[in-house]
Amino acid sequence: MHKERIMHIVHLLRSVALACTLTSATAACAAQTEVNTGLPQVTLKVGGHVLRAEVAATAEQQQTGLMNRRSLPANHGMVFVWSQPQAVCMWMKNTFIPLSVAFIAADGHIVNIADMQPETEDVHCAQTDVRYALETPLHWFSRHGVKPGAQVTGLPLSVR
């Protein structure tokens, strides 16, 4: 009986893995994506909308960003954090999912937003020195009515 139960659990786990492979938008895949990254996460409010974001605070984390991922759950993103405001540009080399990026000043207001296409080396830059960049699924900001000047709260204050 014990062996049958273990085999049943193994079969279920394989089914979930296959479902994630075939339909990356499922809740199971979203949970798997969040758990397996190993990055700290924060809950942000962006123009009044809630977004869960992984925190890329080290140079290595920032260089990797969302590269090599095949999906990103809705209302999920990655926030890049620098210790001081600075000139910041992003690109999409080895990034397979289309993204939008908001460049955010130290006081939390969005300076500008750019839409970025997968696997391109087009450079998208902040219009002024910023302390944060927030990447989300493509058009997340426009779908939520978030524009430059909107406030982002819950941003990490320190870099680890």
Q: Output the domain CATH number for residue 122.
A: 2.60.120.1140
Q: How far apart are CA 76 and CA 54, in angstroms?
A: 8
Let me know whether 119 and 78 are in one domain. yes
Per the structure, how many domains does the chain have?
A: 2
pLDDT at res. 78: 98
Residue 158 in domain: no
Residue 149 in domain: yes
In three-state secondary structure terms, 94 is coil
Let me know whether 49 and 77 are in one domain. yes
Using alpha carbons, list the distances in angstroms from residue 114 to 24, 41, 92, 107: 24, 23, 12, 20
pLDDT at res. 157: 85
User: Tell me, what DSSP letter sits at residue 15?
Assistant: H
pLDDT at res. 101: 98
Residue 17 in domain: yes
In three-state secondary structure terms, 2 is helix
In three-state secondary structure terms, 63 is helix
Let me know whether 47 and 102 are in one domain. yes
pLDDT at res. 159: 63
Task: Please enumerate in sequence order all residues whose Cβ is within 8 A of that of 18, keeping only pairs 6 or more positions apart, or say none.
Answer: none
Helices (H) and strands (E) counted in the chain, each on its own, are: 4, 9
As a whole-number percent, the residues of the chain with pLDDT over 70 amount to 75
58-64 long-range contacts, Cβ below 8 Å, gap at least 24?
A: 58/159, 58/160
Domain limits at 41? 37-153
Let me know whether 121 and 46 are in one domain. yes
Residue 70 in domain: yes
Let me know whether 88 and 46 are in one domain. yes
Let me know whether 62 and 123 are in one domain. yes
Q: What is the pTM of this model?
A: 0.77
Let me know whether 3 and 76 are in one domain. no
Confidence of residue 4 (pLDDT cuts 50, 70, 90): low
Let me know whether 29 and 42 are in one domain. no
Q: How far apart are CA 54 and CA 37, in angstroms?
A: 8
Let me know whether 73 and 136 are in one domain. yes
Confidence of residue 96 (pLDDT cuts 50, 70, 90): very high
Using alpha carbons, list the distances in angstroms from residue 82 to 14, 57, 74, 126: 40, 7, 25, 13
Let me know whether 48 and 68 are in one domain. yes
Tens digit of each residue's pLDDT (9 = 90 or more) over 37-48: 789 999 999 999
Let me know whether 58 and 132 are in one domain. yes
Confidence of residue 31 (pLDDT cuts 50, 70, 90): very low
User: What does the CA dihedral 25, 28, 31, 33 come to, rounded to 10 degrees?
Assistant: -60
Mean pLDDT, the chain, integer: 83
Residue 61 in domain: yes
pLDDT at res. 11: 41
